Amino acid sequence: MKLTEMKQLLAAHNLRLTKSLGQNFLHDANQLRRLVAAAELSRADCVLEIGPGLGPLTGLLLEQAGEVLAVEKDARLVTLLRERFNAGQARPEATPALELVHDDALDYLRREPRDWTGWKMVSNLPYSVASPIIVELAQAQAGPERLVVTLQLEVAKRLLAKSATPDYGVLTLLVQAAYEPKAWFKVPASCFFPEPDVDSACVCLVRRAEPLLGPGQRGPFAALVKRSFSQRRKMMLKLLKEDWPEARLLGEFERLGLSTRARAEEVSLEQFVQLARGLSAPAP
């Protein structure tokens, strides 16, 4: 969908975009194709798209995937998308199915947990909800096989970060415990309408073949990470003593070779995982 076509479609339906909904629509055909290519789609794939907007990405997904579930918060756009794609009408067997859901995506994911393991998410995410949506799917017991998303460059850097770097933090660890970053690329502001005031990037995250955490360890891991980064410049051990016995913590730090003066940003993902496993195990 060219920018001129996007503007014509908005004008034809008398639609004015709402800034509070983060409606910055990706229209550049090359960037849209790069997004879809990163998802490595086939007709066997089911795709979750959050915030389809006017549907430029939706159309490409329908060309390559077997099923697309699109969740859109703006009722005006849901009506437009239904008209554009004839969603909900009977289709020939070989035609990909599009299911449109009018809902707040984060509420939808939390209210209706499901097994997403056979799915991929490909989305131009609204900036305001990008992080919580990714965390919600990353912490799900059965998350999608792959997440390919455009979001604010600052958030992308946090998703890709390594320990001992400024961008490393809670978001990094909550997502990387379940997903490995595979690739990323910048997306110029001129590729969106209207142009955002921030830089953007596309990130591809692939679900780990072997989960680092068991079902009973996800909660302790999240609590551990959040407490450790609650005051970034403080020594991690001092912060953790608010939630765990000091003797237990000292034993785990010694087992992992962690300095009692270490700050959270110095502790690797693997060390956080091992610490969560130790602290969630029955006390000796």
Pick from 173, 207, 241: which residue ends a domain?
207
Does residue 179 share a domain with residue 75?
Answer: yes
Q: Which whole-number Å values give the CA distances from 266 to 156, 187, 222, 270, in the listed order?
A: 20, 30, 17, 12
CATH of the domain at 243: 1.10.8.100
Residue 89 has pLDDT above 80, yes or no: no
Q: SS3 for 39-84, per residue?
A: HCCCCCCEEEEECCCCCHHHHHHHHHCCEEEEEECCHHHHHHHHHH
| Average pLDDT of the residues in 80-108 | 79
**Tens of pLDDT, residues 124-145:** 999 989 999 999 999 998 999 9
Does residue 159 share a domain with residue 136?
Answer: yes
**Per-residue pLDDT, 281:** 85
**Which pLDDT band holds residue 87 (cuts at 50, 70, 90)?**
low
Prediction pTM value: 0.92
**Pairing status of strand 97-102 against strand 67-72:** parallel
**Tens of pLDDT, residues 153-192:** 999 999 999 999 999 999 999 999 999 999 999 999 999 9
| Average pLDDT of the residues in 30-41 | 97
**Per-residue pLDDT, 258:** 97
**Per-residue pLDDT, 42:** 96
Does residue 230 share a domain with residue 195?
Answer: no
**DSSP 8-state code for residue 248:** H
Does residue 203 share a domain with residue 119?
Answer: yes
Structure tokens at 56: 């430029």
Pick from 157, 172, 207: which residue ends a domain?
207
Q: Look at 17 and 221; give whichever has higher pLDDT.
A: 221
Does residue 220 share a domain with residue 124?
Answer: no
**Which pLDDT band holds residue 96 (cuts at 50, 70, 90)?**
low
Does residue 40 share a domain with residue 98?
Answer: yes
**Which pLDDT band holds residue 149 (cuts at 50, 70, 90)?**
very high
Percentage above 90 pLDDT, the chain: 82
**Per-residue pLDDT, 113:** 84
Does residue 133 share a domain with residue 32?
Answer: yes
**Per-residue pLDDT, 216:** 85
Does residue 72 share a domain with residue 35?
Answer: yes
Does residue 79 share a domain with residue 32?
Answer: yes
Number of domains in the chain: 2
| Average pLDDT of the residues in 206-233 | 94
Q: Looking at 52-198, list the stretches that DSSP marks H as alpha helix, in order from N- to C-terminal side.
A: 56-64, 75-85, 105-111, 130-138, 153-160, 170-176
**Per-residue pLDDT, 22:** 75
What domain range includes position 233?
Answer: 215-280
**Tens of pLDDT, residues 8-33:** 989 998 888 877 777 899 999 999 99
